[in-house]
Amino acid sequence: MRYFTTTVDLKDSELDHSIYVQCLQLRREVFISQMGWNLYQHMGCEFDQYDTPASVHVVALQNNAVLGCMRLLRTDNDLGNATYMILDAHLGRIPNLPSGIMDEQIQSQDTWEASRLAISSRVPTSERNAVLVDLLRTGMEYVATRGGTSLLGMMNPVFLRVFRRAGLRAYKFGRIADQRDGRLCVMKLDLEPGAAMVAA
């Protein structure tokens, strides 16, 4: 399966907005149509309070069609009554997400959050790990160019094994929480020292 990964920055004046819209449509399919989560949607798109110009989106593209996407947000983000999704969940501010899920609260320019990961069913099961890891690597490269050193995510704990097999430095960063659709835990991925220089 041939595809490439890139970032979509809403502040980019030459941004192809159709790619961003496809990300939001894919998210609607996964989180609302498939999972039945009670999230806000409008015009076939799912978006929330964290989809601001401060967020950056990593996409996997095949012939200009989005195969997968993931949202990045710096953890010192301040949206008035919200910070970033994992911390807000940790603090009990997000219904249907478990609270008390982080080993420690992080709000730092060095750490970014990856959230709203969605992958199209067009990606065969056998290639989903590769698409996911490519999205993460591209996200980590972007974070490195912005001076970041680590990435937080919230996923099923089996992904720790996937990331470690792929050579990423991933570890559990909180308790495993049982919730409606299975188990979740916060994980932290540390960027390789010098990753910023490589990415730059």
Partner 1 sequence: MKHPIQEKFNKYGFVILAPGQVPSDAITTFSDEWKEVYFRNEFHKIDPVFEFAVRSTRNSNCTLLSEAQMTNELFEEARMFEADSNFVSVSHYGGNTMVFGGVNPELDPRATASIQHACQATHRIELLKNLDLLTDTQIDLMEMAEEGFLDKEIASEFGISLSAIAQRKQAICKAVGTDCFKSTLRLYTLQKWGGLVGEYT
Indicate whether 121 belongs to the interface with partner 1 (CB under 8 A): yes
> End-to-end distance of the chain based on CA atoms, in angstroms?
27
37 token code pair: 């989560």
| Cα–Cα distance, 24 to 41 (Å, whole number) | 9
For partner 1, the binding residue among 13, 38, 63, 126 (CB under 8 A) is 126
Closest by CA position to 150, among listed 86, 61, 81, 79: 86
| Cα–Cα distance, 102 to 118 (Å, whole number) | 22
Provide, rounded to whole angstroms, the least separation between the CB of residue 25 and partner 1. Answer: 7
Closest by CA position to 116, among listed 48, 194, 36, 17: 48
For partner 1, the binding residue among 20, 31, 47, 84 (CB under 8 A) is 31
Indicate whether 117 belongs to the interface with partner 1 (CB under 8 A): yes
Stretch that binds partner 1, among 52-60, 91-99, 106-114, 117-125 (CB under 8 A): 117-125
Q: Which residues are at the interface with partner 1 (CB under 8 A)?
A: 25-26, 29-31, 33-35, 117-123, 125-129, 156, 158-159, 161-162, 165, 178, 180-183
